[in-house]
Amino acid sequence: MILQGGPAVSGQPHFTVDGLRAHAVRHHGAALLRLSLNGEPFDVSLSDLTEDAPLAAVIPLDEMTPDRLTALGRFWSAATARAVPPDPRITPQRLQRARQMLRAVDARHAGAIYRIIAEHLFPQHQIDTASWVGHPIRETTIRLARDGMKLVRGGYRALLRRPRRDR
């Protein structure tokens, strides 16, 4: 999300650079901020700022526009002390799977075999050596490691996109 200084609009909340409580990192004239508003984390980029001008959001019109509009709505709710709706981009199930994928990748890089990884990822299942080859947890563990490598190689950006039927 990019926030820019803009003209004041009467009757609207007035956000300024000084009003945002965050740590700024300067990079090529823009400030990259990690904000915590109403307990929710937001990453924003600031450009063309003057100290007293209110902030405006600039949203590019592309395939990510629906996700950006959702993020802006969540930001607005947090900034105006309203209840922030949950982030629809990643469900609790997808988040849990991403954690398992990264744990599987870390274990593979450390030299662990799939059976040992499965025992740690799925401790509730009894996996013995004799039935390992035909066990469904084996295939799940292999897929987690494979998909985790895709995340590590740059596929993590897909986590930030809301799942859509047209993709």
The pLDDT of residue 164 is 60
Pairing of strands 40-47, 22-27: unpaired
Task: Kindly give the parts of the chain with pLDDT less than 70.
Answer: 1-32, 49-53, 162-167
99-105: which pairs have CB atoms within 8 A and are 24 or more residues apart? 100/144, 100/148, 101/144, 101/145, 101/147, 101/148, 101/151, 102/148, 102/151, 102/152, 103/148, 104/141, 104/144, 104/145, 104/148, 105/145, 105/148, 105/149, 105/151, 105/152
Residues 70-99 pLDDT 10s: 889 988 888 888 888 888 878 888 889 999
Neighbouring C-beta atoms of residue 8, cutoff 10 Å: 9
The pLDDT of residue 104 is 96
56, two tokens:
């405006």
Cβ atoms of 58 and 49 closer than 8 Å: no
Amino acid at 71: A
* The overall pTM is greater than 0.75: no
Nearest to 77, CA basis, from 102, 40, 52, 51: 40
Gap between the terminal Cα atoms of the chain: 23
The pLDDT of residue 7 is 44
What gap in Å lies between CA 45 and CA 27, rounded to an integer? 10
- Where do the domains of the chain lie? 2-79, 92-160
